[in-house]
């Protein structure tokens, strides 16, 4: 069967508003022909018009093969897992989102040489502007801890830098479910252009996600215009039935999620995966007490990283998590985003 090119991806995903913004196509395009332009509600990438396959009839298909919006969406709530636990960091993580467990696990992995680098999204603390980055030192990781609820940035864009340019062979990827789905395709693909990516990824940590917001629409639009909040006045954002804003002066403010519907990225309305079912470890705040992180340990690889962090006193396991609470929200997301 003939491989599909970016033209198929454009027709089936980009032009239909389904693009998740994961950036997998940006990362794997061998011609560097796909990119995201910055601006409010950029719903999909653009191509410069050159494609090895469409232009020169050279087999490729890499962008289409990794896209999480082609094929069927996951239908599981929790997915397969070995253990469901609550955990928290045993090290100081000033900007941790909940229990800081993910940062503790990965900081330990870097210190122990279990991984060379982490591909993730960080933000400028003054503007809250997100960036796709490669982190190779635990102290940098700890300084950048925290969840990102808004972006225009393609999350996986830095993966090309990590794999192709810096030649890292033991990479951890942190991402929301669409990122995890794209990485799973890299790991499983027999496409020669994708094999270097799949072989270089040692650990995938998936973050629970209901939806994400467009950076410009949320931060530069809604919060700055309607709520008179400058980005540098915001210390942390958290979604718990509403958007909770912790300010740098210690005060808090809440925004009803109903007010943020126009800020949600359009591609999120096609996602049915709350818990990143294809990851090695899934993590989120749902199902655990405040100050702890829920961990779904899905694979022996994920368990090995967690056990090592516990043994090195970087991570504390603090009991079971509430599976029913996670299933309830996961089922609601599936119902909301399943297209009739």
pLDDT tens digits for range 181-228: 999 999 999 999 999 999 999 999 999 998 888 888 888 888 999 999
d(CA 26, CA 158): 9
Tell me what pLDDT residue 73 has.
Answer: 87
The predicted-structure confidence for 110-155, as pLDDT tens digits, reads as follows 999 999 999 998 888 888 888 889 999 999 998 877 656 555 567 8
The low-confidence residues of the chain, meaning pLDDT below 50, are: 1, 340
d(CA 216, CA 211): 16
Within 239-318, residue ranges assigned H as helices are 300-311
Tell me what pLDDT residue 217 has.
Answer: 87
Helix axes 101-111, 300-311, angle to 10 degrees: 80
Distance in Å from the first CA to the final CA of the chain? 29
The size of the chain, in residues, is 340
Tell me what pLDDT residue 155 has.
Answer: 81
26: tokens are: 């940006």
Our CA dihedral for 278, 279, 281, 282, rounded to 10 degrees, sits at -70
d(CA 105, CA 108): 5
d(CA 107, CA 118): 10
């Amino acid at each position: 069967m003939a491989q599909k090119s970016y033209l198929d991806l454009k027709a089936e995903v980009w032009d239909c508003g389904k693009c998740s913004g994961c950036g997998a196509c940006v990362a794997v395009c061998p011609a560097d022909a796909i990119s995201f332009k910055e601006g409010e509600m950029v719903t999909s990438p653009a191509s410069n018009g050159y494609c090895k396959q469409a232009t020169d009839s050279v087999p490729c298909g890499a962008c289409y093969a990794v896209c999480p919006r082609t094929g069927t969406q996951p239908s599981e709530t929790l997915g397969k897992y070995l253990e469901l636990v609550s955990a928290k960091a045993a090290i100081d993580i000033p900007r941790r989102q909940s229990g800081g467990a993910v940062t503790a696990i990965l900081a330990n992995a870097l210190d122990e040489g279990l991984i060379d680098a982490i591909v993730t999204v960080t933000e400028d603390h003054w503007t809250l502007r997100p960036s796709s980055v490669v982190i190779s030192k635990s102290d940098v990781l700890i300084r950048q801890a925290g969840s990102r609820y808004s972006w225009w940035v393609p999350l996986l864009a830095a993966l090309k830098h990590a794999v192709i340019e810096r030649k890292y062979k033991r990479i951890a990827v942190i991402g929301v479910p669409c990122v995890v789905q794209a990485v799973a395709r890299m790991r499983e693909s027999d496409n020669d252009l994708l094999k270097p990516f799949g072989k270089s990824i040692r650990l995938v940590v998936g973050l629970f996600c209901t939806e994400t917001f467009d950076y410009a629409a949320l931060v530069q639009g809604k919060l700055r215009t309607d709520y008179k909040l400058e980005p540098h006045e915001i210390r942390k954002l958290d979604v718990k039935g509403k958007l909770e804003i912790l300010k740098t002066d210690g005060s808090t403010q809440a925004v009803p999620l109903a007010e943020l519907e126009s800020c949600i990225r359009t591609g999120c309305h096609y996602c049915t995966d709350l818990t990143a079912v294809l990851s090695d470890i899934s993590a989120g705040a749902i199902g655990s007490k405040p100050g702890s992180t829920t961990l779904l340990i899905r694979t022996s690889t994920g368990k090995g990283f967690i056990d090592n962090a516990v043994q090195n006193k970087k991570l504390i396991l603090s009991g079971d998590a509430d599976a029913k609470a996670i299933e309830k929200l996961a089922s609601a997301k599936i119902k909301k985003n399943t297209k009739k």
